[in-house]
Chain A
Amino acid sequence: AQSVAQPEDQVNVAEGNPLTVKCTYSVSGNPYLFWYVQYPNRGLQFLLKYITGDNLVKGSYGFEAEFNKSQTSFHLKKPSALVSDSALYFCAVRDWETSYDKVIFGPGTSLSVIP
């Protein structure tokens, strides 16, 4: 079965420090991977995706993610956290068991950046 795991419900980091939000996946086809962010009381926003190519993917707001095939991981990173990065982060993977553009979302990780 295909799945996405985000092993940490909550991540706390001090402002200015690097942040990492973890994601691991299990898929039956090529791993098409995504990160979304949800700010309080707002809809989700697309951050970045990995389809093919360079394992380090750069996205919006200074975020990047590293695809690691051997570890089946796609961790989200940022070199220096901002208080405004505090939000709910979702990792997602393309669902190959359907014929349309469906993705499977992980459970989410709440990021708190402490001033």
Chain B
Amino acid sequence: SAVISQKPSRDICQRGTSLTIQCQVDSQVTMMFWYRQQPGQSLTLIATANQGSEATYESGFVIDKFPISRPNLTFSTLTVSNMSPEDSSIYLCSATSSGRAYEQYFGPGTRLTVT
């Protein structure tokens, strides 16, 4: 299974600023995903990041607010732009690899608080 790390693990940010979250995988993966989760609740998919192409965003999420990069097969970033308190959440990165269809491996998450 892939091991995924995220940076930062947590941050407290001011309203109106932006934060970039990094996701690093220890092996080459096919798809990478970014989710948002409120503590104790289910996951909401923000977007899917495919290497070499633009991310695919879910309904309710737009590129201007959540720009994503996927420069290679082991790394992705999610930026939360122009933050408001409503963006306070846990952001999770996950990935799937070829040969293990649909099994997603998750990073530990980034806990974001916007004040």
Interface residues of A (CB under 8 A from B): 32, 34, 36, 42-46, 49, 51, 88, 90, 94, 100-103, 105-108, 110
Bound together, the chains give a CA A34 to CA B96 distance in angstroms of 13
Query: Chain A residue with minimal CB distance to B56?
Result: A100
Q: A46-B103, A100-B31, A103-B104 are in contact. List 16 more A-B contacts (CB 8 A).
A: A34-B102, A42-B108, A42-B109, A43-B106, A43-B108, A44-B94, A46-B104, A46-B105, A88-B40, A100-B50, A101-B101, A101-B102, A102-B33, A108-B40, A108-B41, A108-B42
Contact of A49 among B92, B102, B108 (CB under 8 A): B102
Contacts of A32 in B (CB 8 A): 101-102
> In the complex, what's the smallest C-beta–C-beta distance from B58 to chain A, in angstroms?
9
A-B contact count (CB 8 A): 56
Contacts of A36 in B (CB 8 A): 104, 106
Q: Are B109 and A101 in contact (CB under 8 A)?
A: no
Contacts of B104 in A (CB 8 A): 36, 44, 46, 101, 103
Bound together, the chains give a CA A105 to CA B108 distance in angstroms of 18
Bound together, the chains give a CA A96 to CA B4 distance in angstroms of 26
Given A32-B102, A110-B40, A43-B45 contact (CB < 8 Å): no
> In the complex, what's the smallest C-beta–C-beta distance from B37 to chain A, in angstroms?
9
Interface string of B91-115 (1 = CB under 8 A from A): 0101010000111111111000000
Q: Are A105 and B103 in contact (CB under 8 A)?
A: no
Contacts of B94 in A (CB 8 A): 44
Contacts of A105 in B (CB 8 A): 42-43
Interface size on B, residues (CB 8 A): 25
Q: B30 contacts the other chain (Cβ, under 8 Å)?
A: yes
**8 Å CB interface, B57-115 against A:** 92, 94, 96, 101-109
Instruction: Return 27 A-B CB contacts under 8 Å, by A number.
Output: A34-B103, A36-B106, A42-B109, A43-B92, A43-B108, A43-B109, A44-B43, A44-B92, A44-B94, A44-B104, A45-B106, A46-B105, A49-B103, A51-B102, A100-B48, A100-B50, A101-B31, A101-B101, A101-B102, A101-B104, A102-B45, A105-B42, A105-B43, A106-B42, A108-B40, A108-B41, A110-B40
Q: Are A90 and B43 in contact (CB under 8 A)?
A: yes
